[in-house]
């Protein structure tokens, strides 16, 4: 089963929630004698390893194939520029140019070139790493500095985890990147349930709406909500969840001790064990929601 922890905006406490859920899931997995895996798919800023003191044992390079044009063979027919959906190749009267930063490595231009003038060159764009953390199977992706496309690294992280047989685990928890763009869709794809973390502010509500549109309305996933830093002052997120029939399965208060444990790099359920039951109940409810939604 795959649970993705996501949020419409950064800074809502997504990693705080994902790490504590994973630690509670580890205990459940011990009794089921089935492992739990945690994947940090926030590849532009992976930080789960800092909280869980991860020990990384192996790394796999992530590359994409970018086109290289043999100008001597190129007839400047323009076919490559026509087929490129990303405007990453331009055919000019005297030269055909490739803009590496825009290229998604889809291979269409090489396939379509009638002159056979395009070859493909592997270009590093990041890494995925695997190991263990606090008794969990742990994987993370990291996008190389200067690279713009996180999606292939997230896809590689999920693919490598699957090829290690981690999909047959009792549970895989994925800490998604924030937002609602392509990297988030890649993190959510194939999930059994999504937990959307938000905060009770107008910004939090605005971005929660967008995240619900992506996870529930576009991808068709069962969705639940976690409200972090709840000071009881703003009921708009609760009202929205009620109107949309979205269960609020986790609620954390605005509390200095929580902020302090986070800034010290300690998982919440380790630093403040009084929250263990809150996370255990939320985990059970999430698994039940995913099970109910299964065809």
> Do 169 and 37 contact (CB within 8 A), yes or no?
yes
Strand ranges in the chain using DSSP code E only, listed in sequence order: 2-6, 36-40, 55-69, 89-91, 96-98, 118-133, 136-143, 171-175, 193-198, 223-230, 248-253
> Do 87 and 31 contact (CB within 8 A), yes or no?
no
**Please, what is the minimum distance in Å from the beta carbon of residue 27 to ligand SF4?**
45
**Please, what is the minimum distance in Å from the beta carbon of residue 103 to ligand SF4?**
3
- Whichever of 110 and 258 has its CB closer to ligand SF4, that residue is 110
The binding track of 95-114 with respect to ligand SF4, each residue x by CB under 6 A or -, is -x-x----xxxxxxx---x-
Spatial distance between the Cα atoms of 92 and 155, rounded to a whole number of angstroms: 34
3-state secondary structure of 86: coil
The binding track of 267-286 with respect to ligand SF4, each residue x by CB under 6 A or -, is --------------------
**Please, what is the minimum distance in Å from the beta carbon of residue 121 to ligand SF4?**
11
Look up residue 75 and give its DSSP letter. Answer: -
3-state secondary structure of 246: coil
For residue 9, report the phi and psi dihedrals to the nearest 5 degrees.
-135, 160
Spatial distance between the Cα atoms of 12 and 178, rounded to a whole number of angstroms: 9
> Do 196 and 8 contact (CB within 8 A), yes or no?
yes
Spatial distance between the Cα atoms of 222 and 291, rounded to a whole number of angstroms: 10
**Please, what is the minimum distance in Å from the beta carbon of residue 101 to ligand SF4?**
11
Does 84 bind ligand SF4 (CB under 6 A)? Our answer is yes
**Please, what is the minimum distance in Å from the beta carbon of residue 85 to ligand SF4?**
7
- Whichever of 70 and 217 has its CB closer to ligand SF4, that residue is 70
Work out the end-to-end distance of the chain between its first and last CA atoms, rounded to an integer number of angstroms.
Answer: 14
The binding track of 123-152 with respect to ligand SF4, each residue x by CB under 6 A or -, is ------------------------------
CA-CA-CA-CA torsion sign (91, 94, 100, 102): negative
Does 63 bind ligand SF4 (CB under 6 A)? Our answer is no
Please state, as a whole number, how many other Cβ atoms lie within 10 Å of the Cβ of residue 68. 13
Does 236 bind ligand SF4 (CB under 6 A)? Our answer is no
Does 91 bind ligand SF4 (CB under 6 A)? Our answer is yes
- Whichever of 186 and 199 has its CB closer to ligand SF4, that residue is 186
| Selected range binding ligand SF4 among 1-9, 91-99, 197-205, 284-292, rule: CB under 6 A | 91-99
- Whichever of 104 and 216 has its CB closer to ligand SF4, that residue is 104
- Whichever of 146 and 220 has its CB closer to ligand SF4, that residue is 146
Residue numbers of the site for ligand SF4 (CB under 6 A)? 67, 69, 74-80, 83-84, 86, 88-89, 91, 96, 98, 103-109, 113, 115, 117-118
């Amino acid at each position: 089963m795959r649970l993705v922890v996501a949020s419409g905006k950064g800074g809502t406490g997504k990693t705080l929630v994902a790490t504590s859920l994973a630690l509670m899931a580890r205990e459940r997995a011990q009794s089921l004698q089935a492992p739990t895996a945690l994947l940090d798919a926030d590849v532009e800023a992976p930080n789960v390893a800092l909280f869980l003191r991860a020990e990384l044992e192996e790394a796999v390079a992530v590359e994409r194939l970018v086109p290289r044009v043999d100008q001597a063979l190129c007839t400047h027919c323009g076919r490559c520029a026509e087929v490129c959906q990303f405007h990453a190749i331009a055919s000019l009267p005297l030269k055909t140019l490739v803009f590496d930063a825009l290229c998604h490595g889809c291979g269409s231009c090489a396939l379509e070139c009638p002159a056979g003038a395009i070859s493909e060159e592997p270009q590093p764009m990041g890494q995925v790493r695997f190991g263990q953390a606090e008794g969990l199977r742990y994987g993370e992706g990291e996008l190389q500095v200067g690279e713009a496309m996180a999606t292939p690294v997230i896809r590689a992280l999920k693919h490598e985890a699957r090829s290690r047989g981690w999909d047959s685990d009792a549970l895989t928890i994925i800490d998604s990147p924030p937002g609602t763009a392509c990297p988030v869709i890649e993190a959510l794809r194939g999930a059994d349930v999504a937990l959307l973390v938000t905060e009770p502010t107008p910004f939090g509500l605005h971005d929660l709406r967008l995240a619900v549109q992506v996870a529930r309305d576009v991808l068709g996933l069962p969705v639940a909500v976690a409200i972090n830093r709840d000071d009881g002052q703003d009921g708009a997120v609760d009202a929205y969840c009620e109107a949309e029939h979205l269960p609020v399965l986790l609620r954390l208060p605005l509390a200095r001790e929580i902020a302090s444990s986070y800034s010290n790099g300690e998982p919440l359920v380790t630093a403040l064990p009084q929250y263990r039951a809150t996370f255990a109940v939320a985990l059970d409810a999430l698994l039940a929601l995913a099970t109910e939604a299964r065809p």
